[in-house]
Amino acid sequence: MSNAEAEPVAVRCGALVDDRQQTEVPRVDVISARDVPLGGPRAMTVRRTLPHRERTLIGAWCFADHYGPDYVAATGGMDLPPHPHTGLQTVTWLFAGEAEHRDSLGSHALVRPGEMNLMTSGYGIAHAEVSTPRTTVVHGVQLWVALPEEHRNTERDFRHHVPEPLRVDGAEIRVFLGSIAGETSPVRTFTPLLGAEVILAPGVTVTLAVETAFEHGVLVDSGKVRVADTLLHPAELGYVHPGIDALTLVNESDGPARTILLGGTPFDEEIVMWWNFVGRSHGDIVRAREDWEASTERFGVVEGYPGGRLPAPALPNAVVRPRRNPPRR
Ligand code: MN
């Protein structure tokens, strides 16, 4: 997915390394989503929780958009013309519908619920995403992972992975990146990372061993889910501080609850995000925008999309200012 805001704000993200002792009770901060219209006359509105004023990263996860269920008859579905990315990986995970992906590596793939599309931009890639004609409902998440300095100009890559669902104490878990509940995704990450869908039957409590060094995010799609003494509602992202060795999720609703569980070691580099680019400086962003606008080799060409490419928005007037996670309590 593209960040198709008309006037995207530049965000500098700085990770906070939490050095407190291990705690028994998870400390949870609630991050509320903001609605972001993706542009166009019938366009979708997404619920964005990362980056947020109060938290810009969870591990290397730097962007989280949650959307739907949206009826294609009303919104026209998803239609993102070719657009660029730098310095990141995009994770597409659907709850309903089907999307067709084309990128400048030559990849052409479908993604369906329970399947992950992971695209690594490295120095530069372009892709298009369109919901297929048989899709009636668009519902899912679009997540981005910042690449660490050492690998940010790595080669372009595209992976499709279908995790086997696990059943643990009334929970159904699909691990798409990293490891949890004894299952490990075979897909490579460039920093220690976790990404999983966790569906809880009504009233279910599940406790999962987690990496003590990880910080976590619990993004609720449906139902009400309690983490420690914090009740999370749909579209909220619960940030769980590092230092715990187990995470307990309780479905306090009458129906099933669906969550996306994110995790990773705190990302100890400052990054700058603007539009669809992740860089290290304002200059990186300016160059990436110029390269896209000039159709240089950097991003390549997406074949097979019936239409033109997405132009970059105007750059902000000001140089990007530092932006960090909140101070430790
Ligand atoms: Mn995209």
Give the 3-state secondary structure of 156-176.
CEEEEECCCCEEECCEEEEEE
Over residues 77-96, the pLDDT tens digits come to 899 999 999 999 999 999 99
- Rounded mean pLDDT of 287-305? 97
- Within 10 Å of residue 50's Cβ, how many Cβ atoms? 25
Q: Which domains does the chain have, with CATH numbers?
A: 11-323 (2.60.120.10)
pTM: 0.92
179 compared with 39, residue with greater pLDDT: 179
| pLDDT recorded at residue 37 | 87
Band of residue 41 on the pLDDT scale cut at 50, 70, 90: low
237 C-alpha to center of ligand 1: Å? 22
Which strand (E) or helix (H) includes residue 223? Answer: none
Residue 196 CA, chain-centre distance (Å), reads 12
Q: What is the DSSP string of 298-314?
A: TT----S-SS-PPPPPP
Mean pLDDT of 225-240: 97
How many Å lie between the centroid of ligand 1 and the Cα of residue 146?
A: 13
Q: What is the mean pLDDT of residues 104-122?
A: 98
CB 64, CB 81: distance < 8 Å: no
Ligand 1 centre to CA of 22 (Å) is 37
pLDDT value at residue 16: 47
Q: How far is CA 103 from CA 63, 121, 259, 302, 304, in A?
A: 20, 10, 28, 5, 9
CA of 110 to the centre of ligand 1 (A): 15
Q: Which helix (H) or strand (E) holds 210?
A: none
CB atoms within 10 A of CB 174: 23
Q: Is the pLDDT of residue 321 over 60?
A: no
Stretch (H or E) spanning 282: helix 282-293
Tokens of 64: 């989280």
Q: How far is CA 238 from CA 46, 61, 315, in A?
A: 18, 14, 32
The DSSP output letter for 148 is P
| pLDDT band for position 54 (cuts 50, 70, 90) | confident
- Comparing CA positions, the residue from 256, 97, 234 lying closest to residue 171 is 256
Mean pLDDT of 30-57: 88
Distance (angstroms) between ligand 1 centre and the Cα of 292 equals: 14
Quick one: pLDDT band at residue 15, thresholds 50, 70, 90? very low
Residue 232 has pLDDT above 50, yes or no: yes
Q: Which pair of structure tokens corresponds to residue 190?
A: 């460039």
Distance from the alpha carbon of residue 305 to the mean position of ligand 1, in angstroms: 14
Mean pLDDT across 277-290: 95
CA of 276 to the centre of ligand 1 (A): 7
